[in-house]
Amino acid sequence: MRWLKRFGSRTRPRGDDRHPGAAADATMSSGNPRPMMVCVSHDAGFYGAQLLLLHINQVLKTQLGFQVTTVLLGGGELRPQFEAVGEVVDFTDPPWRVAPPPEVLQARQREIRRLYQAGARQVICNTSVSGQVVRLFREAGFRVLVLVHELPNLIRDFGLEGAVREIGRWADCVVFPAEYVRDRFLPISGLEAGRAVIRPQGLYRPSPYRNRRAEARSQLLAESGWPAVARIVVAAGQGDRRKGIDLFCQVAVRVLRERAETRFLWIGDDTTELARDCKAWLESAGAAGRVRFTGVVQDPDRYLQLLAGADLYPMSSREDPFPSVVLDALDAGLPVAGFAGAGGFGELLDAGAGIQVPFEDRAAMAAAVAGLLDEPDRAGAMGEVGQRLIASRFDFADYVHDLL
């Protein structure tokens, strides 16, 4: 938890070499009155890493005065929002899953040189996928910072070992959200520890329901038709194995056997094969009416209202480096129960904001959920700890400033 101590009370420096003005000196061309920053995203899908970079771009532009160019290695529904921030350079053909032929590689090199000639000198590359272009930027003269969010299982599943080694060889600095992620990345990347920095991302979307949970709960109960006595358990994410939608449903059935008044809500994609299997299983278990799925929720206020209306958040992921949804849940005042060894978010739970249970232990997770539902004072105290952690240590502008 050294990062908690390091960043817990830091104020923004003024006039030193980490002030945005210093970055501006390094990235401003003689004919351009605004400093320039290039940011690389592996695609523009509506997921956590891409949303994080989008909000980084927005802070760079609106609060720090940068002219931002985004390089996209794949398409997605967030592209118009990236375009609203600044120029988008299209590296989507072929997308990142396909190795580019020599002529495409040469075209990308020309685009990167164009950005350098326009005055850009620094690039923020987001996710391990962006390792595919790190060398191109370094050879063009850029200083390269990479944000790594991935753990070894995902890296292997997506065949990113080569991109990770490129990061290890060519990146000037690699930022990890937690020691847990760094310690698993170093052995497979060849990155020296001296180029690794621990800095968890800030909360880019503070909840408007932070002090309006009763209102959020009333809205959720009215919309769902659930009884006023219902205790509500909520989780969010893609309906896949990594996010543990199956574990969430299995825990729900265990809890419902003893606490029929409890209701469970999954926020996120429920069209995957695994999600459909889970729904069929819940139907056969007689729990379908008490475990519901919203589908994808793109309206941030709606998503935050659903979180704030609940009583607690079980982090069902099998592998999740440092998910923003945990920060969102803590900001809303929800205690979080999670699997030990599933990601760096465990450091926050150990700080008093929740409970860790043995990895993939459904019975232990169900017991933790039931225990927090049975002890509202204890759950409320954890929620207060979580809110204090978020308020004091996860300012998003500070996070972007530290990246600069």
Q: Residue 21: is its pLDDT beyond 60?
A: no
Lowest pLDDT segment from 33-37, 108-112, 251-255, 270-274: 33-37
Integer angstrom CA distances of residue 282 from 36, 221, 254, 259, 286? 52, 21, 11, 16, 6
pTM (predicted TM-score): 0.85
Residue type, 196: A
Q: Among 80-84, 133-137, 150-154, 333-337, whose mean pLDDT is lowest?
A: 150-154
Question: pLDDT tens for residues 298-329?
Answer: 999 999 999 999 999 999 999 998 889 999 99
Q: What are the pLDDT digits (tens) for 181-218?
A: 999 999 999 999 999 999 999 999 999 998 899 999 99
pLDDT tens digits for 125-175?
A: 999 999 999 999 999 999 999 999 999 999 999 999 999 999 999 999 999
Cα dist from 249 to 239, 275, 292, 369, whole Å? 11, 10, 10, 13
Q: What is the pLDDT of residues 90-123, one digit of tens each?
A: 999 998 889 899 999 999 999 999 999 999 999 9
Q: Is 343 in contact with 322 (CB distance < 8 Å)?
A: yes
List the 336-339 sheet strands across, edge first: 313-315, 336-339, 354-357
Token couple for 105 = 């590689």
What are all long-range contacts of 53-57, with beta carbons under 8 Å and residues at least 24 apart? 53/124, 53/126, 53/147, 54/78, 54/81, 54/82, 54/85, 55/204, 55/205, 55/396, 56/124, 56/126, 56/204, 56/400, 56/403, 57/82, 57/85, 57/86
